[in-house]
Amino acid sequence: MVDELRKEFDLIETWVDIEIHPETPAEGVSLAERFAGRDMSATYAALGRRGAEFGLEMNQVERLSNSRLATAAGEYARDHDSYPAFSRAVFEAYFARGEDIGDVEVLARCAVAAGLDADDLRAALADDRYADRLDAAMREAAAAGVSGVPTFVIGGRERVVGAQPLEVLRAAMLRGQERA
């Protein structure tokens, strides 16, 4: 989908990782508890359909992980030119296998899958070397009005929130061009 938009528009992609539900305790929380009273089956069915469009397996996750370590590990992967592969490995660990991406060992396995050094990643997470970068990303997201993920910010003004169909993104890109 993004490749199709790249052909049509002059895109400059910048991925900014932010924590999802930063209030989540380090050990995570059951989704049933977190979203008590809400039927999440339709949400997971929609995610499954959208993921399938990209060749991604998506299963119903039982626990909401604290995403701080995964976000820091993403910054480590970015610094080692392995961000796309690492992000995909984390996505598959969480959504396809239901693993806890707040667990250092799960992230270490994702690092290895992305061609990164697991021990070096563990050290980076242990010394919290990405804390300032993560905090800055959260401030940037808040300033940009980001309230959910994914959020696509087009031309600094147009926002599309959520995993939207191609036509929704294309329309936003066209509006962004008109405003430029």
Cβ-based burial of 145 (10 A; exposed 0-12, middle 13-18, buried ≥19)? exposed
- Domains in the chain and their CATH numbers? 1-12+146-180 (no CATH), 19-144 (3.40.30.10)
- The residue that leads in pLDDT, 99 or 39, is 99
pTM (2 decimals)? Answer: 0.84
The more confidently predicted of residues 61 and 85 is: 85
pLDDT for res 145: 82
Tokens at 23, concatenated: 């209030």
Rounded CA separation 120/161 (Å)? 34
Give the confidence band of 132 by pLDDT, cuts at 50, 70, 90. Answer: very high
- Kindly state the percentage of the chain with pLDDT values over 70: 98
Q: Which whole number is the average pLDDT over 92-103?
A: 93
Check residue 92 and give its pLDDT. Answer: 92
Residue 40 reports pLDDT greater than 90:
no
